[in-house]
Structure 1
Amino acid sequence: MENTPVRVPAGGVMLDGDLGNPAGARGVVVFAHGSGSSRFSRRNRHVASILQARGLATLLVDLLTVEEEAVDLRTAEVRFDIDLLARRVVGIVDWLGGETVTAGLGIGIFGASTGAAAALVAAAERPEAVKAVVSRGGRPDLAGGALPQVKAPTLLIVGGADTLVIDLNQQAFEDLRCERQIVIVPRATHLFEEPGALDQVADLAGHWFEAHMAPGERRMARAS
């Protein structure tokens, strides 16, 4: 399906995004991209298309402005500003709640790399709006003190060959107090570029979002 370009006010700036909204959508998933990525990420667009086919709306959005991206390309410093990224994600969540086409839909966040930390901080700050979080090769450990405050069921997906990130995800898993699960995709590297690896990520994410994003649903948090 075609995505609709949108402009999202968040954290005092306007962010560019692409909203895919299938008929009868049962929820909307925000993509919080990671280091050096954007809404044009081939991997995130692939996952988004699969989620749309499952009846979930998706919002692929740039968390940085064009000017910030230019600075980040030179210094790589903005992508690790978790507070800034989280404020942007919170703004996006608030915007979705006020838009006619998405108001009333449960919101999920799909975070990659540092975007996973921003997703978890935003989930901690908007516990009633954010129904589920999925991290792909993420750095949830960078969410720090926000981790025990997260209420949204959280799925951590890590590549089996991404050993350092596995350790960091296991540390974050111990700090989470919500319903949570960690899945290791065998032989997959950090970007899940191996044949079938990204499809496996999309399938895991789709099942997780479908299980936790029914409109108006609020499940009791439990550890798994």
Structure 2
Amino acid sequence: MHALVLPTHSRAVVLFAHGSGSSRHSPRNRMVAAELRTAGLGTLLMDLLSEREESQDALTGEHRFDIPLLGRRLVAAIDWLDGQPEARGLPVALFGASTGAAAALVAAAERPERVLTVVSRGGRPDLAGDALARVRASVLLIVGGRDREVLRLNEEAADMLRAPHSLHVVPGATHLFGERGALEEVARTAKEWCVERVRSVRSARKADERR
């Protein structure tokens, strides 16, 4: 199941990869998606697991850390977007939360020609393993300042990235960014980052056309 929303004259599509135990109905990701759409960015919120897999995972937790599986599902979603007339050719950004961030990085490594950038919210990029060093897209890591263990893991993962990257720490925020104004800062930071990446690509294309 998925929810694809494309504003008029969309400049890119942001594909969301939800974290463990979450779904396309995540209120946090839906809030971020709404903010991204104000900048002319399309959004695709989808479930990476089937209903049966979600039921199994709720009991056993067997799928939520299966990063290769989640990564393959994201790659399939990227390929699916290419088959949609209204989305074909638009740059693709990936927004991953928790374990979804690792899946996003794996997918970015597998589709370097399609993924423009990756944004991680409270993510576990360390779970992407060897894919970290193969990512060519720029990466933004957003972590809560009080989410100390995840912040440490993000710092270590950043050292393994060879692509351009930035670590944005939201002061006083915990893992779910439930503090006042924290999620709003996540959404604003992600929007500004994606818009700037799209702008850079457009500028480069115009420069090539003038040559």
**What is the TM-score normalised by the length of structure 2?**
0.94
What is the deviation of 1:55? 0.6
Q: Counterparts of 1:175 and 1:217 in 2: how far apart (Å)? A: 28
Distance 1:214 1:105, change over 3 A: farther
Q: Is the 8 A contact 1:27 1:215 kept in 2?
A: no
Long gaps (5+) in structure 1: 1-15, 220-224
Instruction: Give 1:3's aligned residue.
Output: none
SS at match of 2:162: coil
Q: Counterparts of 2:74 and 2:201 in 1: how far apart (Å)? A: 21
Report 1:1-224 matches (<5 A). Answer: 16-214=1-199, 217=202
Matched to 1:181, the amino acid is S
What is the deviation of 1:98? 1.9
Matched to 2:105, the amino acid is L
Q: How many residues align?
A: 204
SS at match of 2:55: helix
Q: Counterparts of 2:168 and 2:200 in 1: how far apart (Å)? A: 26
Q: Is the 8 A contact 1:86 1:119 kept in 2?
A: yes
After TM superposition, which residue ranges in structure 1, 4 or more long, deviate above 6 angstroms? none
SS at match of 2:157: helix
What is the deviation of 1:75? 0.6
What is the deviation of 1:215? 9.2
Counting aligned pairs with the same residue, the percent is 55
Q: Counterparts of 1:214 and 1:96 in 2: how far apart (Å)? A: 21
Matched to 1:134, the amino acid is V
**What is the TM-score normalised by the length of structure 1?**
0.89
Q: Counterparts of 1:81 and 1:89 in 2: how far apart (Å)? A: 13
Q: Summarize deviations over 1:44-93 as a string: whole Å, max 9, x none.
A: 00000000111100000000000000000001120000000000000001
Q: Counterparts of 2:200 and 2:165 in 1: how far apart (Å)? A: 20
Q: Counterparts of 1:169 and 1:176 in 2: how far apart (Å)? A: 11
